[in-house]
Amino acid sequence: MKTRQILGYAGVAPFLLGIYFSTGNFNVGIHKTLPFIAYSAVILSFLAGSLWKVHMIHPCESNEKQRMYLEHDSFSQQQIVSNIISVLAFISILISPEISLLLLALGYLFIWFYERRINGINSFDELSDNYLSMRTHLTFIVFSLHALAYMLWFL
């Protein structure tokens, strides 16, 4: 198993701990939903930041197709989308947990669809099938944990 897979799947543990914390009898001075929502916002913002990865290509290593892409409006669009998602993730910490869960869950789905779309456009971006498969699994797991949290907290 590759490091990115280990880290990716290990990153699910804080979501599980957040759900556990939210359903237990813990009194630590913060709202019981905050750990789950805050961690989710951080991870969503991290994923949004990964949309910038193309920008990190060293100029000596880039080929003509990469250079043309970096000069194209699509890359600017990725940067804007990335920043919007990060700001929305931050806002989710400040609003009601019910709306936060919805906003964050939709954010994960959006990133998943968007990453697949830009991966199709950017054929030089060598995301392996294993990586895309892992991202699909993790997105499904995280989305499901948001649904579970919603059911436990509000239904």
Give a yes or no: residue 66 inside a domain. yes
pLDDT tens for each residue of the chain, 155 residues long: 889 899 999 999 999 999 999 998 888 889 999 999 999 999 999 999 988 865 555 455 556 655 555 555 667 888 899 999 999 999 999 999 999 999 999 999 999 999 888 776 554 445 567 778 899 999 999 999 999 999 999 99
d(CA 2, CA 51): 21
d(CA 105, CA 15): 12
Give a yes or no: residue 11 inside a domain. no
How many structural domains compose the chain?
A: 1
Residue 143 and residue 105 in contact, taking contact as beta carbons nearer than 8 Å: yes
Owning domain of residue 125: 34-154
Give a yes or no: residue 78 inside a domain. yes
Give a yes or no: residue 6 inside a domain. no
The model's pTM is: 0.85
